[in-house]
Structure 1
Amino acid sequence: MGVDFTVFKGSASGEIVEATGHRDPGPTEVIVKVSHCGVCGTDEHYRHVDQGLGHEGIGVITEVGSMVHAVSEFRVGDRVGMSWFHKFCGHCDACLTGRQNQCANKTEFGTADLDQGCFGTAVAWDISALFKIPEEIASEYAGPLMCGGATVWAPLADYGLKPGSRVGVLGVGGLGHLAIQFAAKMGMEVVVFSGTESKRQQALELGASEFYATSAGSLEEVEKIHALLITTSVAPDMKSFFPVMALGALVFPLTISMEHLKVSPLDLVIYGLKIVGSATAPTASTRAMLRFAGKQGIKPIIEKFPLTQAGVVNAMTKLREGKMRYRGVLVAA
């Protein structure tokens, strides 16, 4: 049967264009009718490319491929989420050791399936990269968790941090406001750094233990932290943070940026820092993130837009201008 779909794509001029397509599900694929999709900053990187946009999709399965019932528990009617990754091979070293996000043979947003995207009415998706959404999470809040939530969860859950660890979060935005909530609910001391005092109250309400405005001067009096999650849209001056980093502290640059993070080999030696590249989370970790968010009531602060051409344009413009508070979500009629 398959599905005819509408999708909103980028273009060489940067304009958002409407296109149509058709997909039949492969043996291990399902057809998902999209109801919601988060608007991620990374979508902006592909606005000038002829491809379907959107990679924080939520929807309901309407059709399954011939092998789906034999190899998975996914069924028609399940509410599911899709993220950056479209398919994992299941047999490379990364997959076999639970690091599917580093799969050698993965297909993903920006390099495969360019005809479709979650800024659309429906997609065909492989079950290896599909996630059931817990009942406790409303669809409008689930979308931003699929990429934004998984991005901040992985450093907190997969790199040895534990309750009582002092975790720095730089920036209170689309990623930062989720990182604060997750770290606080995981029992960590959340130390928030922001440019000004304007977001102090909100950071504390989200679960921050401490808040420091970086424009106020030196941070040398801050008790040392065990990790720093960089969630700002621009790379920070790392020298200002060296005095507050515990020996062997982890640094996670989480915003996709082409800017250089200026750290010298001598800085690494003196402070014993570990800079960790982390992109979303492996399969089991993403499942754990969704369960945790549902049980703990963690949800993004969102602004809604219609899942239409005009809605996509408005949402992406607001995000580009830095006016989104804090995650945009497209909602199908």
Structure 2
Amino acid sequence: MECKRDDRSPISTVGIEFPFFKGSKNGGLVEATGHLDLGPTQVSVTITHCGVCGTDEHFRRVDQGLSHEGTGTIVELGSSVHVISDFQVGDRVGMGWFHRFCGYCNFCGQTGRQTLCVNRSSYGSADQDQGCFGSALAWDISALYKIPESIASEDAGPLVCGGATVWTPLYDSGVKPGARVGVIGIGGLGHMAIQFASKMGLEVVVFSNTESKKQEALGFGASELHATQSRESLKGVKPIDIFMITTSVNPKMSLYYPILVHAAKVYPLTVSMENRDGVSPMNLINDSFVIVDSGVAATASIRVMLEFAARHKVRPQIEKFPMTVTGINDAMQKLRDGKMRYRGVLVAPQ
């Protein structure tokens, strides 16, 4: 990739001020004004849209800027941006959980696994005086992603966060077309997992409590759906090669182990502090199951994911809300109640 500078792109020499929304001890939203001096490898982004993620609820009672699914337009460049990248003013970009990678540790420089960067900074632990629930922010280009032209800004935030979360197991697992991929849940993560897997040529088998979402699952690309409520056995279901847990709570894994092939890979994507049911050394010894915790994809993987989503028309199903106190509260309450279909997106005032 050639790195060049458009001489019309302004390089920042002064700080930026911006309104944003943050959490508080009582859980109420607080409107605040932030001020940041743009670093040499940062860009200033005007936010146009922002996805609402379940993890935002975890930080609602913390005095920090909320959210990490922002999409917007670059309006200023740090002094070194034009030297080390091809980002320019006017580029449409998205950001996710991670704010910065160092670029020189072993994980960044040798393995390409930036999510394990020893000097990384991320949502909830850094830059707490800004958030994607707001009008602007400063972001390091090491964790910034150009949005393909065919992907709408309202769809980009959920793809960079939730889309990247479900993309990682499929992209990294080595699974091949024709393999059977099990997906538990048809929610904010599951509906994108079904789309990515089916577009990769995989046979997607969905498990849900009831058959109420069967037609939706088939519409997203699933081959079959099995209702699990009150079932003690899934006898008759053909074996599963890779298994993705996308529900908000941990499932009863003893129900699923009998239908996994030997050496099946299990990816728990649920953010939960609860212990997992049914995991024993014998599952690992006798069947060689591989349980792989997985989160947000690495930088190169996210770029490939966005290009894949653009080419194959993988899109989140979204509901839009205004980026106001009322709009944010309504969106987060709907997510908390389990009624969001399937990702909430805030739209900034024009």
Fold conserved (TM > 0.5)? Answer: yes
Q: Residue 103 of structure 1 aligns with which residue?
A: 117
Deviates more, 1:268-277 or 1:71-80: 268-277
**1:50 partnered with 2:63:** yes
Cα-to-partner distance string for 1:50-80 (whole Å, 9 max, x where unaligned): 1101101000000000000001000000000
The alpha-carbon deviation at position 268 of structure 1 amounts to 1.7
2:209 to 195, 200, 219: 195
Cα-to-partner distance string for 1:249-275 (whole Å, 9 max, x where unaligned): 011110211111120111222221110
Runs of 5+ unmatched residues, structure 1: none
Cα-to-partner distance string for 1:289-311 (whole Å, 9 max, x where unaligned): 00000011110000000011111
Q: Residue 129 of structure 2 aligns with which residue?
A: 115
Q: Residue 306 of structure 2 aligns with which residue?
A: 290
The alpha-carbon deviation at position 187 of structure 1 amounts to 0.5
**1:29 partnered with 2:42:** yes
Letter in 2 for 1:290: L
**1:222 partnered with 2:252:** no
**1:84 partnered with 2:84:** no
2:345 to 320, 329, 332: 329
Cα-to-partner distance string for 1:136-171 (whole Å, 9 max, x where unaligned): 100011110011000000000012112111100000
Letter in 2 for 1:102: L
Q: Residue 283 of structure 2 aligns with which residue?
A: 267
Give the SS at the match of 1:215: coil
The alpha-carbon deviation at position 210 of structure 1 amounts to 1.1
- What's the TM-score, normalizing by structure 2? 0.94
Percent identity of equivalent pairs? 62
1:181 to 195, 198, 207: 195
CA distance in 1, matches of 2:62, 2:179: 42
1:148 to 147, 156, 162: 162
CA distance in 2, matches of 1:10, 1:144: 21
Q: Residue 248 of structure 1 aligns with which residue?
A: 263
The alpha-carbon deviation at position 216 of structure 1 amounts to 5.8
Q: Residue 6 of structure 1 aligns with which residue?
A: 19
- What's the TM-score, normalizing by structure 1? 0.99
**1:207 partnered with 2:221:** yes
CA distance in 1, matches of 2:287, 2:135: 50
CA distance in 1, matches of 2:50, 2:272: 22
Deviates more, 1:209-218 or 1:244-253: 209-218
Letter in 1 for 2:346: L
CA distance in 1, matches of 2:270, 2:129: 26
Cα-to-partner distance string for 1:195-251 (whole Å, 9 max, x where unaligned): 101000100010001110012622121110111110001100000001110000011
The alpha-carbon deviation at position 3 of structure 1 amounts to 2.0
Letter in 2 for 1:59: G
Tell me the number of residue pairs that the alignment of Structure 1 and Structure 2 aligns. Answer: 333
2:329 to 289, 307, 313: 313
- Is the 8 Å Cα contact of residues 242 and 271 (structure 1) preserved in structure 2? no
Letter in 2 for 1:299: R
Cα-to-partner distance string for 1:5-27 (whole Å, 9 max, x where unaligned): 11111111111111111112100
Q: Runs of 4 or more off by more than 2 Å in structure 1?
A: none
- Is the 8 Å Cα contact of residues 55 and 84 (structure 1) preserved in structure 2? yes
- Is the 8 Å Cα contact of residues 2 and 63 (structure 1) preserved in structure 2? no
RMSD: 0.8
Runs of 5+ unmatched residues, structure 2: 1-13
CA distance in 1, matches of 2:164, 2:73: 20
Give the SS at the match of 1:257: coil
Deviates more, 1:144-153 or 1:212-221: 212-221
